Amino acid sequence: MSRIILASQSPRRQELIGCILSDFEVIVSEAEETLPDGIAPVDVPGYLAGVKAQAVAAEHPDDIVIGADTVVILDDQVLGKPKDADDAFRMLRSLSGKAHTVITGCAIIQDGRMTTFADHTRVEFYPLSDREILDYIATGEPFDKAGAYGIQGRGCVLVKRIEGDFFNVMGLPVARLKREMERVGALPQ
């Protein structure tokens, strides 16, 4: 029987996939996340999810592998994880008082076939003071998160409203992933 492997080191994704599966393994992808020239920002998370899943599936071809990647897009620019506190400040300042899009791409590989999809959620921030931004950065929370915030943590106080899947913003659109896994036969319906 095939194992289901999550190709992600994200503790949030590991927690969220537990809403679908009680039995899965985590194998972190060591793939280099290099983007091809000219890739559109909206295509980045699906592409990177596929790269991660393919790297793990190459070592575990008899198993079902799930990869995921999340990006924040503001004004057609991808905001990844901040490099340092200054980068986090710059990102949060740019998000202040504006709406942005969070896209999580997912890839499911089974029997050598890959299915990908991406889920989009619109997130609007309140206007933020420099003090609010600095206080949030001081928590340490922004440093391992796309766009320098975590909606499920202390970053929730930055968010005015969302349109779409809350869990997508956390890093895994659980309900859609379940349905896609059922559709491709990776889960019984």
Hey, which residues are catalytic here? 69
Residue 153 confidence (pLDDT): 94
Interhelix angle 130-138/85-95, nearest 10 degrees: 140
Residue 169 confidence (pLDDT): 97
Residue 124 confidence (pLDDT): 98
- Taking the C-alpha atoms of residue 181 and residue 163, their distance in angstroms, rounded to an integer, is 24
Residue 33 confidence (pLDDT): 87
Q: Which amino acid is at 115?
A: T
The phi and psi torsions of 163 (rounded to 5 degrees) equal: -125, 110
Looking from the CA of 112 toward its CB, the CA atoms found within 13 Å total 0
Residue 174 confidence (pLDDT): 97
Q: What domains can you pick out in the chain, each with its CATH number?
A: 4-183 (3.90.950.10)
- Taking the C-alpha atoms of residue 64 and residue 32, their distance in angstroms, rounded to an integer, is 21
Contact of 74 with 98, CB cutoff 8 Å: yes
Output the tens digit of pLDDT for each of the chain's 189 residues.
689 999 999 999 999 999 999 999 999 999 998 999 999 999 999 999 999 999 999 999 999 999 999 999 999 999 989 999 999 999 999 999 999 999 999 999 999 999 999 999 999 999 999 999 999 999 999 998 999 999 999 999 999 999 999 999 999 999 999 999 999 998 877
Residue 135 confidence (pLDDT): 97
- Prediction pTM value: 0.93
Q: Is 168 exposed, middle or buried (0-12, 13-18, 19+ CB in 10 A)?
A: buried
